[in-house]
Amino acid sequence: MVQKLILFDIDKTLVDEMVIDGNPWQSAFKSVYGIDCGINVSSVNTHGMTHKQIAIETLKNKGFNEVEILEKLDFFIETLEKFYKEYLENGKISLFPKIPELLQKLSDKKYILGLITGNTRIIAFAKLKKAGINKFFTIGGFGDDSANREELIKLALERAKEKYSFQFDNKKVFVIGDTPKDIFAAKKFHLQTIGVATGLYSKSDLKKLGADFVLDNLQDIEKVLSIIG
């Protein structure tokens, strides 16, 4: 059987909407850095950014210098994870249609499923557990591994090799995501990319940015399977 590795982004690729009791970012910034603010970044949006990137840029925009940020950053991430888990207890995660069925089909084919996400590992799996799809994933690159999304790809490939003895072949690795950052990071390793227009970017946008394949969404399971093979 041909071994393939499928790496998914989470937010706006698998997960459509999250409704929770509070604002974990605001709570964590207040608790650790003593500032009353939510996410505050200078870029157009946070889609595709890692949690570390978001935290660092927000704090810089609030006047913190690098030393002040880094000395508490690990504790901030731990605190953010704590608030996410607490607020998710009575919250709700909505998946895009057909996601569980697609993951089951890919799993049945014995493909390795992984994650490339700006979420930290703990937050990622808290979301997926709430959504009922955590069982499909064991490896990935996460937002607490690095602020650099390319590094997350590298780590996911290394973990696939370590856990599943995956033999790297760029034609057998697919990265599925909804943002330019998903596409750009994968292209650094010459991986196959599937852009899905379920976030802020259209099919045309994703195609222009270099995605190998573009889809409106992941609902057409047979179409997705035909691309992956």
Angle at 100 between CA 130 and CA 45, to 5 degrees: 65
Q: Are residues 83 and 138 in the same domain?
A: no
Q: Are residues 200 and 160 in the same domain?
A: yes
Report the percent of the chain where pLDDT is more than 70.
95
What pTM, to 2 d.p., does this model score?
0.91
**End position of a domain, from candidates 88, 121, 143:** 88
**What pLDDT does 160 receive?**
97
Instruction: Supply the CATH number for residue 47's domain.
Output: 1.10.150.240
Cα separation, 35 vs 165, whole angstroms: 46
Q: Are residues 45 and 109 in the same domain?
A: no
> How large is the average pLDDT for residues 128-138?
97
> Rounded to an integer, what is the distance from CA 36 to the centroid of its chain?
26
Q: Domain containing 27: what range? A: 19-88
- From residue 52, give the alpha-carbon distance in Å to each of 39, 100, 229: 12, 29, 35
Q: Are residues 153 and 61 in the same domain?
A: no
pLDDT in tens, 40-94: 665 445 666 888 889 998 999 999 999 999 999 999 999 999 999 999 999 999 9
Q: Are residues 101 and 188 in the same domain?
A: yes
Q: Are residues 66 and 103 in the same domain?
A: no
